[in-house]
């Protein structure tokens, strides 16, 4: 099984287990997961240069980014996080090119925090999403993010 197919299968399995009515998951609205191939992301960044950062990432995300290779991994992780949020909201519900409306900030603990704006925030309100659980991780070759959307109990 190729990596993208495996990710879709994992996402389906997690979403199914979260929606099976388990009492501990009663406030889970949805789940999204996304994998970024860092070498492909680097090719895209090399082609588009600074415009990629300006198009996809908020000013705060750009200010918080590291330098060098760590910067590449930081942005790949943030892109995975934004895509995981979009998948949790439902790709058809989110307007195209809404990257600036999904801001992934960092709490003092280091935990990522999802802040939505504009039309994307309206979609989350319609789905009664109140809180996000977001996890971002990377290796030297991949960045992955998992986003769980929660409603109030």
Q: How much is the average pLDDT of 38-58?
A: 93
Q: Where are the domains of the chain?
A: 27-151
Question: What global pTM score does this model have?
Answer: 0.83
Question: Using one digit for the tens of pLDDT, what is the confidence trace for 59-110?
Answer: 999 998 887 779 999 999 999 999 999 999 999 999 988 999 999 999 999 8
Q: Please answer whether residues 70 and 53 qualify as being in contact, where contact means their C-beta atoms are separated by less than 8 angstroms.
A: no
Q: Would the CA dihedral through 2, 81, 152, 120 be positive or negative?
A: negative
Per-residue pLDDT, 141? 95
Per-residue pLDDT, 67? 78
Does the domain formed by 27-151 have CATH 3.90.470.20? Answer: yes
**CA-to-CA distance for 17 and 139, rounded, in angstroms?**
26
């Amino acid at each position: 099984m190729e990596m993208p197919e495996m990710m879709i299968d994992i996402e389906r399995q997690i979403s199914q287990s979260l929606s099976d009515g388990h009492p501990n998951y009663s406030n889970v609205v949805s789940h999204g997961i996304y994998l970024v191939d860092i070498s492909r992301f680097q090719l895209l960044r090399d082609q588009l240069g600074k415009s990629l950062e300006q198009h996809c990432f908020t000013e705060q995300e750009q200010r918080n980014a590291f330098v060098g290779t760590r910067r590449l991994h930081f942005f790949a992780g943030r892109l995975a996080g934004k895509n995981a949020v979009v998948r949790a909201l439902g790709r058809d519900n989110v307007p195209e090119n809404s990257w600036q409306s999904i801001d992934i900030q960092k709490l003092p603990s280091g935990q990522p925090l999802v802040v939505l704006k504009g039309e994307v925030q309206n979609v989350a309100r319609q789905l009664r999403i109140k809180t996000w659980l977001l996890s971002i991780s990377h290796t030297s070759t991949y960045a992955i993010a998992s986003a769980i959307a929660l409603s109030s109990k």
